[in-house]
Amino acid sequence: MTVNRTLFTMYRTIKRSRFKKKKNIYKQVYRMSFDKTVLLYALALLGYIITAVFISGNFTNPLQNGFAFLEEIGTRNFLVVISIYPLRYMFQAFRQPGIILSSSEYQLSILPFGLRDVWNVIVLEKWMKRIGGGLILWLMFVVTPLPNTLTGAYILTLVLIDIGMTAPLWRMYQQRLLPKLAIFLGAVLLIGLLIYIEPILASVVVFISIILWNVFAWKHLLKQVDWGRVVEGSDHKVWKMPLISSITKVPFKREKRIYVLQKLKFRRKKFDYHAASIHHRLWHSYVLKNVRVLFQMFGILLGFMTAMIFVNPFIFYLSIAISVYIFTKMSASLFYDRFKTDVLEVLPWDVSSFRKSFLRWNLYGGVLLIVPIIAYDIFHLTWWVPLEVALIISVAIYALNNELERASVLLAKSKREFFISDAFVVIGLFAIVFTGTYPFVSLLTIVFGFLCVQQRRRL
Amino acid sequence: MKGSDSMNALRIDNLQVDIGDQTLLKDISLQVKKGSVVALLGHNGAGKSTLLRTIIGMNEKVKGTIEVCGHDMDSAFLTYKRHISYLPEEPMLLSELTVDQHFQMYGLAYEMREDILEERTNMYVTAFELEDKRDHYPEELSKGMRQKVQAICACLPDVPLLLIDEPFMGLDIYAMDYMEQMLRQKASEGVTIMISSHQLELIRNIADEFILLQHGTCIESGAIDTFDTIKRGSDL
């Protein structure tokens, strides 16, 4: 592996500039978010706590047992740990190429340097960092009661595996999903089996496999590389700043590519020429793109309602009302967002027709939210239960349609008052809250059923 | 470009567009006659794309009114939008849809009849040499091909106003030639075209009139024959 010195200097400059840029972003966000005085007091308090811990005595004493335990576990399982450790890189290959070759590094190949030279420089820097980091980590462990030979052996082996897995991880990342999955599952099974037979055998096989894999990987290092994917994955890793993201509320999304779906032949066929078929595809793609947010929302709401079952009936019905409210607001905001994203923004869609197809997708989500309600009702079965469930569903449908109507009005840049319908939503939500305590409230289902029919007629 | 309202395809009054603290367009007032081809000229950053994006509704205006064929943007947005087709500078294709599916999407959005859509699609696809790419996804096409697909999409519907942002970028010489023909054809059918481009010679062949933007304001307009040239940024 030869390394071009000029290229190395340029690469370091890029990294330094990137570091400075990130530092400035962090600085700006900190300036906006934290008050200097509060920060100063917080630091003073932290300093006081640390000093108090040191003054109060030998702080390592309470940890002595822990270190002894660690030493015992570490010694006994050394071979197991180093046999399993390469699996971490194989798992990583599903998302990351292992080395960061972002769009900036890729630009270097436009200059008179080959991509292989750029790759070499990045890898060399990564290895140097790993070795340096390993050394620092080992020095930190020197002050602990753990034997230096044990920590040294662990750190040295793990750094060696890290270096040894660079090229295999890079090659594995380039594989398609199924071969990648087969390699990973095969490795899990083989290593598991060998550990079960004899851990030393597992470690020897793992080390020999890494060496052989390296021979192959280095030979075919830059063959059939999807540079677009490498750059996209690296850009995401470089600029993903979770703290900034959470403070600024700006999500650092990874560009989603629906490779697997694109491979399906039937998806390339033309649609039946009517609105419903294209709406369905557009919503399907949109749901897939936002699947993480949707999982989070449904997970939180389901968890919330399930937990409230065990508190008391009133609180449980309150949690249902809150969940209906959040669900409808979230759905409406997704609906609005769909028309403010990509080419749909410039097309003159008939929003009401889109709304009908969107309601179908909401039905799938709504069914999920019914699960805790049914679970609760099974244990609190009365004659009122069907009416209660009907009330919840009718209020949810009415509130959802109301929110979607509001979003449609916004999209059409028109103005309309929602005072009366909003009032009905509030009444409906309160009715849900009190239906657990006063079941006769669920008779309001008739009213909300009627309102839903009226809404549907207007659509 | 002055005339009575029934003669105008586009009418903008006192338009202002801000993004954050920055004013991108200011005091823009103009009227574009039905069936005319207007070249939108100016330096990079003059506000050409911003103006087109504001007309289509992608940028929010701070003040002013925009009317297309008498339909006000603020009172009947969907009807207003049905009168416009937009060809953006950068293709806005969905990675989940194939080339043919994009044409269908445009056809459905503009409520085109299926047979008319099919006929036009076949004509444009042949002319732009995309016959074997119809079931391809955007990622499987070159940048020029994506631009061609987007151009076809924009030209499919029968709309009175066509907004075009840098149509020749990334196109090969034959595609540029066909694009020019296509725009002439549209203009001869009475479609009003507002086109932004830096390719002045090509624009002179197509346009009847021009609007010159500078720092977000309209500084000059008139017949394209009277247009001299854009001064260097440093000379302004």
What are the boundaries of each domain within chain B? Answer: 92-158
- pTM check: above 0.80: no
Are B104 and A270 a contacting pair at CB < 8 A? yes
Measured between beta carbons, the chain B residues lying within 8 angstroms of A269 are: 135
Compare CB distances from A343 to B92, B98, B137 and report the shortest one's residue.
Answer: B92
Select from A347, A361, A349 the least CA-distant residue to A286: A361
Are B100 and A281 a contacting pair at CB < 8 A? no
State the nearest Cα–Cα gap between A413 and chain B, in angstroms.
6
At B23, give phi and psi (nearest 5°). Answer: -90, 120
Which 3 state secondary structure label does DSSP give B65?
strand
Q: How far is CA A114 from CA A12, A117, A121, A138, in A?
A: 17, 5, 11, 36
- Burial label for A308, CB within 10 Å (0-12, 13-18, 19+), is buried
Q: Domain ranges for chain A, please list them.
A: 5-235, 265-458
The reported pLDDT for the residue numbered A262 is 62
Whole-number percent of chain B with pLDDT over 70: 94
Taking 90 as the threshold, does the pLDDT of residue B163 lie above it? yes
Are A345 and B57 a contacting pair at CB < 8 A? yes
Taking 50 as the threshold, does the pLDDT of residue B3 lie above it? no
Beta bridge partner(s), residue B19: B22
How confident is the model over B153-171, as a mean pLDDT?
Answer: 89
Per the CB < 8 A criterion, the answer to whether A86 and A166 are in contact is no
d(CA B120, CA B102): 14
The reported pLDDT for the residue numbered A7 is 84
Residue-wise pLDDT for B94-132, tens only, equals 888 889 999 999 998 898 999 999 999 999 999 989 989
Looking at every residue in chain B, the average pLDDT score rounds to 87
Per the CB < 8 A criterion, the answer to whether A409 and A341 are in contact is no
Q: Which residues 361-420 of A are in CB contact (within 8 Å) with B? A: 411-414
pLDDT confidence tier of residue B2, bands split at 50, 70 and 90: very low
Q: Which chain A residue has its CA at the smallest distance from B135's CA?
A: A268
Which 3 state secondary structure label does DSSP give B8?
strand
Q: Does A278 touch chain B (CB under 8 A)?
A: yes
State the nearest Cα–Cα gap between A311 and chain B, in angstroms.
45
Q: What is the token pair recorded at A212?
A: 């052989």
Find which of A340, A343, A416 to mutate to test the B interface (most B CBs within 10 Å of its CB).
A343
Which 3 state secondary structure label does DSSP give B5?
helix
Q: What is the token pair recorded at B21?
A: 């603290």
Which 3 state secondary structure label does DSSP give B19?
strand
Compare CB distances from A413 to B77, B98, B105 and report the shortest one's residue.
Answer: B77
Are A278 and B77 a contacting pair at CB < 8 A? no
Taking 70 as the threshold, does the pLDDT of residue B235 lie above it? no
Find which of B49, B58, B78 to mutate to test the A interface (most A CBs within 10 Å of its CB).
B78
Are B97 and A281 a contacting pair at CB < 8 A? yes
Q: How far is CA A131 from the centre of its chain?
A: 30
Residue-wise pLDDT for B174-228, tens only, equals 888 888 888 888 989 889 999 998 888 888 888 889 999 988 898 888 888 887 7
State the nearest Cα–Cα gap between A281 and chain B, in angstroms.
8
Measured between beta carbons, the chain A residues lying within 8 angstroms of B101 are: 270-271, 278, 281
Q: Which chain B residue has its CA at the smallest distance from A269's CA?
A: B135
Size of interface A-B (CB pairs under 8 A): 78
Q: Does B106 touch chain A (CB under 8 A)?
A: yes
State the nearest Cα–Cα gap between A350 and chain B, in angstroms.
7
Q: Does A346 touch chain B (CB under 8 A)?
A: yes
Per the CB < 8 A criterion, the answer to whether B75 and A414 are in contact is yes
Other Cβ atoms less than 10 A from the Cβ of A99: the count is: 18
At B198, give phi and psi (nearest 5°). Answer: -95, -5
Segments of chain A scoring below 50 in pLDDT: none
Q: In sequence order, which residues have a C-beta less than 8 Å from that of residue A455 and are 6 or more positions away? A: A397, A398, A401, A402, A405
Widest Cα–Cα separation across chain A: 82
Q: What is the token pair recorded at B136?
A: 């391809």
- What radius of gyration do chain B's Cα atoms show? 17
At A11, give phi and psi (nearest 5°). Answer: -65, -40
